């Protein structure tokens, strides 16, 4: 049973380019979460999606960042016109239940992240 | 003040030692607390979660919550070199809402053979 799959593992982009990060949740999981990890800031919530719906994007920067989770295929986190400050590890997590379901939907299963470096 | 504070360490102990890892939090409304372990270049993996005050034990791991002092702890007994990792505490921003976890910075632990 494959876990949460993220690719690529490492991504290098020049300033101004676009970065696309992909996440395939665990089988049977329809809730996806994106987090960003910076050394001095720790993990920060970015966005929560269900299939074809963005449920909570309160942690996502208003500009240049977008996320989707289509009916078919992986969830995509897209960063346009990357800047050096976007360099970080981006983690995707999935769960079988969401926050609006009975119970908490524990646990969140994390992928191994995509490490984005902007040069 | 950060909502969840955690001493980043690093913490270095000999194999077999009892390890105590701690976090403090500021919001008394927080009810659920989780401990995640993160190996280098890997994603976090859930170790344990607790609700409200009290202890929870799982093998060599014990999680403890003291709501009166807003203090959470993870104890590792008979520590092993394979326990060397970063340990992160986390809590949901809202009770019953696990989508937005608030994290400590993590404590780096090295268990020396």
Q: pLDDT tens-digit profile of A33-46?
A: 999 999 788 999 99
Residue A4 has pLDDT above 70, yes or no: yes
- State how beta strands A10-13 and A114-118 pair: parallel
B 2-41 residues with CB < 8 A to A: 32, 34, 41
- Name the band, by pLDDT with cuts 50, 70 and 90, for residue A22: very high
Instruction: Report the b/e string of A13-24 with b at 16+ CB within 10 A.
Output: beeeeebebbbb
**Nearest by CB: B103 against A43, A58, A104:** A43
Element (H, E) at A57: none
| A13 Cβ neighbours under 8 A, 6+ residues apart | A19, A82, A116, A117, A118, A119
Count of pairs with CB atoms under 8 A, one residue in A, one in B = 62
Alpha carbon B23 to its chain's center:
7
């Amino acid at each position: 049973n494959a876990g949460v799959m993220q690719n690529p593992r490492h991504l290098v982009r020049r300033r101004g380019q676009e970065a696309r990060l992909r996440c395939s949740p665990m089988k049977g999981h329809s809730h996806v979460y994106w987090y960003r990890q910076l050394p001095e800031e720790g993990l920060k919530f970015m966005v929560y999606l269900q299939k074809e719906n963005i449920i909570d994007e309160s942690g996502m920067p208003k500009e240049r960042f977008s996320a989707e989770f289509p009916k078919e295929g992986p969830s995509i986190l897209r960063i346009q016109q990357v800047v050096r400050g976007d360099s970080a590890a981006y983690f995707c997590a999935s769960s079988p239940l969401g926050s609006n379901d009975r119970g908490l939907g524990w646990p969140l299963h994390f992928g191994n992240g995509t490490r984005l470096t902007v040069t | 003040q950060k909502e969840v504070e955690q001493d980043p360490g690093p913490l270095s102990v000999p194999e077999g030692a009892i390890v105590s890892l701690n976090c403090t939090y500021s919001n008394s409304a927080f009810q659920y607390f989780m401990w995640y372990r993160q190996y280098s270049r890997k994603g976090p993996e859930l170790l344990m979660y607790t609700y409200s005050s009290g202890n929870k034990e799982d093998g060599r791991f014990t999680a403890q919550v003291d709501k009166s002092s807003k203090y959470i702890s993870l104890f590792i007994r008979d520590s092993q070199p394979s326990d060397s990792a970063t340990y992160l505490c986390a809590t949901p921003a809202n009770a019953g809402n696990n989508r937005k976890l608030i994290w400590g910075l993590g404590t780096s632990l090295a268990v020396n053979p």
